[in-house]
Each structure stands twice: as C-alpha cells, then as structure tokens.
C-alpha cells in the first residue's frame, strides 16, 4: 500500500472518529429527550426547546469556529470543538434542572456546530480532486456509526442505568481530542495561504459577486435540509410512541432504521464521483421527501419500518453529498468562513424544526400534516440545487 493511501486512511479515521462522537451525542439526545419527559415531567414544548437550544449553539459554533478556522487553522479548531462538546456532555449528566441542562446543551451545540464544517473542509483540502467527494462522503458515514452507538447505548443503558450514565459515556472524546493535538497535520492548502485579510473581509467576500449565487444556493439548501432533519429525527422515538408503540419498542425500531444510514452513505460515496454532486443531492433529497411523506402517513408497523428505513437511507446519503459539495464552492482563503456561514444559517432551521414539531403536537396537529411540511421543505432544497448549483465533480479546489 502506498504512502498516500495510508495518509488518506489515517486522515479519514482521525476526522471520522470526531464525527462519530458528534453523532453519538446528537443521536442520544433524541432518546434522552424521551427519557427526560418521563423523569422530569416535561411538556412537548419543553422537549422541543431542548433540541432547539442545541441547534442555537450549533448555529453560533458553526459561524464562530468557521471564521476561526480561516485564522488559526483547521486542526486547532477541530480539537477545540471536540473538547467543548465532550466536557459539556459530562457536566450535563450532573444536572437536575431543565435550565442548567439547556445551558450545557448550548455549549455542546457550539462544539458540534463548529466541528462538522471544519472537519469536512480539512479533509476536502487534504485529498486529490479525483477522490475528494468520495472521501468526504465516507467521512460523513462515521455519523451513522455514531448514531448506531447512540442507539445501542440508549437501548441497553438508559432503561437500566438512566440517561445520566449515557451522557457520561459521551465524555470519552475528551481523551481522543488531547491525542489529536499531537497526531493530526493541518491542511496543506491552508498552510500555503497568506492570511492578510480580516474576518470581516472574509465575510464580505463570501457575499461578493463571484460567490453570491453559490452562497444563496448553499444557505437555502442547508436551511431546508437541517430544518427537516432535526424536526424529524430528534422526534423520531417520540413520534413512534405517539403512533401507539412503547418507549422501549420505539428505541428498537429507531435502531433498525439507523442501520439503513450506512448503505445510504456508501451508495452516495460510490455515485458522487460517477454521477456527480448535483445528481446525488437531487436524487437523495427527493427520496427523503417521498419517504418523509409516507412515514407521516404510516398506519401499520410494516409501513412505519419501510418508510423509516428509506428515510434514513436517503436523508443521510444526501447529508454526505452536502458536506462534500459545500467546501467546493469557495477558494481556500474563505473556505472555512463560507462553509461555516452556510452551516450556521442552516442551523436556524435546526432551531425551528424541533420547536415547530413540539408546538404543533401540543395543538393536536396530525403527524401526517407535520411530515408533509418537512416533505415540502426538502423539495425547496432540491429546487435550489437544481437551479443555482454548479457541478464540481473532480474539479481542483480554487
């Protein structure tokens, strides 16, 4: 095996484990919300706020750390964000009030929101153009691994040992983050860029004429995808309970649905260098929208599981393509800023999605209506890519 292959594999493993830990935390939150409702007697509105405060933190983190990544480097920001969400997860296991839990979820969200676009930028800048899309989608596939770990922990740990133990297990990434300080090289492209422009100059440049169309496309796409994803997936266990199944059964069904994320990622990774970014995004987002519609209308276990499995398959494949596509829209000097700003705006959708579900459920709105809205949101994202997006398959980064 040649040195380049070893280098790519190590980079993918190091960055991918960071994504796995991120996904483990986000995935457990959907199960912890359901457990907290029983332990603390939370209303559906309060449950919605837990997910939304997490997304507020992600919006702030994506913007702040995206800007920092273009100043102090991708590697340093990657380590900082890992430490932030790991320590926050451990402390949140000790909370006894909703207010304290929400404060810590904000800090955890900052770490999560900052880490994801920076990690994908680091990987995109470190591999050849012919492999870039595939490697970034494979990086995203670690998210499915994290969700699987979170589902196993939630299924086997929360019912027997409580949600606090599940959160304590999420502190493991702290030790991993310290190891990264010595073992991870920074982006070679970033090292070669002269950093003369200010943070404000970078923000203005993202919206300048050469990049305005790309920025509008990304902001609309990120908002629609994040709004629908967090609205649907953070509520998945609770929605299954609303459809008449027990809490334990809902954990079991979500675990099965989560398994479908892996083939979703791997198929997208295979297609993205063959059919292109736009094809994968449009196809997988349409699959997401159709699956969401049928999941909302499912009235039997067979329909629920089939549509839920397809929803996981298509939605997470689309996420992989989104993270591959985003850094390719900007030159190296503003890539962290551009990707971070798009992700930050998208996180506003993550704030609204869980609150939207919570309040509509409280108003006794039908689940079919709620999922129809998410279906429409995803189709708006499809239109943005189709009309405004450019194909970047195997193109050298600027």
- pLDDT tens figures, 10-63: 788 888 887 888 888 877 887 788 788 888 888 877 887 887 788 889 889 999
**What confidence score (pLDDT) does residue 5 get?**
39
pLDDT of residue 310: 95
Asked if pLDDT for residue 251 goes beyond 80, the answer is no
Sorting pLDDT into bands at 50, 70 and 90, what band is 397? low
Q: Is the pLDDT of residue 265 over 70?
A: yes
Q: Which residue has the tokens 């559906």?
A: 44
Burial of 111 (0-12, 13-18, 19+ CB in 10 A): buried
Take residue 395 and report the two structure tokens written for it.
């193109």
DSSP letter for each residue of 201-218: HHHHHHTSGGGHHHHHHH
What pLDDT digit, counting tens, does each position of 83-92 carry?
888 888 889 9
Distance CA 238, CA 133 (A): 35
More confident site: 68 or 155: 68
pLDDT bucket at 193, cuts 50 / 70 / 90: low
| Full DSSP string of 221-285 | HHHHHHHHHHHHHTTHHHHHHHTT--HHHHHHHHHHHHHTHHHHHHHHHHHHTTT-HHHHHHHHH
Question: What is the C-alpha separation between 3 and 255, in angstroms, rounded?
Answer: 37
Which residue matches tokens 């994803």? 229
Contacts of residue 235, defined as CB under 8 A and 6 or more positions apart, other chains included, come to 30, 51, 354, 357
In which element (H, E) is residue 350 found?
helix 332-362
The rounded mean pLDDT for the chain is 85
Least confident of 101-105, 167-171, 288-292, 388-392: 167-171
pLDDT at 168: 87
Cα–Cα distance, 393 to 64 (Å, whole number): 29
Q: Once rounded to an integer, what is the mean pLDDT over residues 306-329? A: 91
What does the pLDDT read at residue 204?
92
**Which pLDDT score is estimated for 381?**
96
* Torsion over CA: 186, 188, 189, 193 (sign): positive
As to burial, measured by CB atoms within 10 angstroms (0-12 exposed, 13-18 middle, 19+ buried), residue 131 is middle
* pLDDT above 80 for 236: no
Q: What is the pLDDT of residue 8?
A: 75
Tokens standing for 308?
């839920």
The pLDDT > 90 percentage for the chain reads: 28
Judged by average pLDDT, the poorest of 115-124, 233-242, 323-332 is 233-242
| Number of other residues whose CB lies within 10 A of the CB of residue 205 | 17
Position 3 confidence tier, pLDDT thresholds 50, 70, 90:
very low
Distance CA 104, CA 93 (A): 10
Compare 240 and 3 and report the one with higher pLDDT: 240
Q: Taking 80 as the threshold, does the pLDDT of residue 177 lie above it?
A: no
Fold of 11-181+204-388: Growth Hormone; Chain: A; (1.20.1250)
Residue 275 pLDDT exceeds 50: yes
pLDDT score at 4 = 44
Instruction: Decide if 171 contacts 85 (C-beta within 8 A).
Output: no
Mean pLDDT for 100-104 is 94
Buried (b) or exposed (e) across 158-175, using 16+ Cβ within 10 A? beeeebbebbbbbbebbe
pLDDT at 216 over 90: yes
pLDDT of residue 194: 62
pLDDT reading at 378 higher than 90: yes
Distances (CA, A) of 65 to 68, 110, 115, 219, 302: 5, 9, 8, 17, 43
Confidence category of residue 248, pLDDT binned at 50, 70, 90: low
Q: What is residue 186's DSSP assignment?
A: P
Position 64 scores a pLDDT of: 93
Q: Say how far apart CA 201 and CA 395 lie, in whole Å.
A: 26
């Amino acid at each position: 095996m040649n040195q380049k292959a070893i280098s790519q594999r190590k980079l993918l493993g190091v960055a991918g484990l960071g994504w796995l830990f991120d996904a483990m935390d986000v995935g457990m939150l959907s199960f912890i919300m359901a457990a907290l409702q029983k332990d603390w007697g939370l209303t559906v509105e309060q449950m919605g706020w837990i997910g939304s405060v997490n997304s507020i933190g992600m919006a702030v983190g994506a913007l702040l750390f995206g800007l920092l990544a273009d100043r102090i480097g991708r590697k340093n920001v990657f380590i900082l964000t890992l430490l932030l969400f790991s320590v926050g997860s451990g402390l949140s296991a000790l909370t006894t009030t909703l207010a304290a839990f929400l404060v810590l979820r904000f800090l955890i969200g900052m770490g999560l929101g900052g880490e994801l676009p920076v990690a994908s930028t680091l990987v995109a800048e470190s591999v050849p153009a012919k492999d870039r899309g595939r490697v970034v989608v494979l990086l995203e596939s670690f998210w499915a691994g994290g969700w699987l770990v979170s589902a196993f922990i939630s299924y086997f740990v929360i019912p027997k040992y409580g949600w606090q133990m599940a959160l304590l297990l999420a502190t493991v990434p702290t030790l991993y983050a310290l190891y990264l300080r010595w073992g991870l090289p920074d982006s070679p492209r970033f090292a070669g860029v002269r950093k003369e422009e200010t943070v404000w100059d970078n923000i203005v440049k993202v919206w300048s004429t050469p990049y305005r169309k790309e920025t509008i496309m990304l902001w609309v796409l990120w908002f629609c995808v994040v709004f629908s994803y967090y609205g649907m997936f953070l509520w998945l266990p609770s929605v299954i309970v609303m459809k008449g199944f027990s809490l334990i059964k809902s954990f079991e069904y979500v675990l099965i649905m989560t398994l479908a994320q892996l083939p979703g990622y791997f198929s997208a990774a295979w297609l993205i260098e063959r059919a292109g970014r736009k094809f994968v995004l449009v196809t997988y987002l349409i699959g997401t929208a159709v699956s969401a519609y049928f999941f909302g209308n499912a009235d039997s276990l067979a329909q629920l599981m089939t549509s839920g499995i397809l929803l996981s398959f298509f939605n997470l494949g689309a996420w992989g393509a989104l993270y591959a596509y985003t850094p390719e829209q900007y030159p190296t000097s503003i890539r962290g800023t551009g990707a971070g700003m798009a992700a930050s705006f998208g996180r506003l959708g993550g704030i609204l999605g869980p609150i939207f579900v919570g309040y509509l459920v409280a108003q006794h709105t039908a689940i079919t209506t709620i999922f129809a809205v998410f279906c429409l949101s995803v189709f708006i994202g499809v239109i943005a890519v189709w009309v405004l997006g450019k194909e970047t398959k195997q193109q050298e980064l600027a």
